[in-house]
Amino acid sequence: MRFHSISLPVPFRMCLQLALCFLGCGSTTIAQAVTYSAQIETSQWYLSASIFECSLTHNIPDYGRGVFFHEAGEKLQFYLDALHNPMKPGKAALVLEAPAWKAGLRVKELGFVAVADSARALVVDDVRATDMMDSLLSGMMPTFTRQAWFSDDSVRVRISSINFASLYPDYLKCLSGLLPVNFRQVERSKVHFEVDKAKLTNEDYNVLNNIIIFVKADPTVTAIFVDGHTDSSGRRIHNRRLSKERSEVVTQYLIDHGIREDMITTRYHGERYPVAKNNSKTNKAKNRRTTVRLERGSDAQNNKNGDAEFSDS
Residue 266 has pLDDT above 50, yes or no: yes
Question: How much of the chain, in percent, has pLDDT values that exceed 90?
Answer: 77
CA atoms in the 13 A half-sphere facing the CB of 24:
10
CATH of domain 183-304: 3.30.1330.60
Assess whether pLDDT exceeds 90 at residue 20: no
Higher pLDDT, residue 12 or 70: 70
In the chain, which segments carry CATH 3.30.1330.60? 183-304
Look at 312 and 223; give whichever has higher pLDDT.
223
260/258 Cα distance (integer angstroms): 6
pTM of the model: 0.81
**Once rounded to an integer, what is the mean pLDDT over residues 288-299?**
90
> Exposure pattern of 248-283 as b/e (b: 16+ CB <10 Å)?
bbbbebbeeeebeeebbbbbbbbbebbeeeeeeeee
Quick one: pLDDT band at residue 312, thresholds 50, 70, 90? low
Predicted local confidence at residue 14, as pLDDT:
40
Q: How far is CA 120 from CA 86, 145, 160, in A?
A: 12, 16, 19
At 249, phi and psi to the nearest 5?
A: -70, -35
Largest CA distance in the chain: 84
Confidence class for position 169, pLDDT limits 50, 70, 90: very high
pLDDT band for 309, please (50, 70, 90 cuts): very low
Decide if pLDDT at 21 tops 60. Answer: no
Check whether domain 10-176 has CATH 2.60.40.2540, yes or no: yes
What pLDDT was estimated at residue 307?
41
Say yes or no to pLDDT of 209 above 80. yes
Kindly tell me if the per-residue pLDDT of 26 is higher than 60: no
Percentage of residues in the chain having pLDDT higher than 70: 85
The model's pLDDT over 193-205, given as tens digits with 9 standing for 90+, comes to 999 999 999 999 9
Residues in the chain: 313
Confidence at residue 297, expressed as pLDDT on a 0 to 100 scale: 86
Q: Of 10-14, 69-73, 117-121, where does the model show the most confidence?
A: 69-73
The mean pLDDT value of the chain amounts to 87
pLDDT digits (tens, 9 = 90+) for 29-43: 344 789 999 999 999
Question: Out of 3-17, 75-89, 134-148, 178-192, which region has the weakest mean confidence (pLDDT)?
Answer: 3-17
List every span in the chain annotated with CATH 2.60.40.2540: 10-176
Average pLDDT over residues 251-257: 98
Q: Is the pLDDT of residue 178 over 60?
A: yes
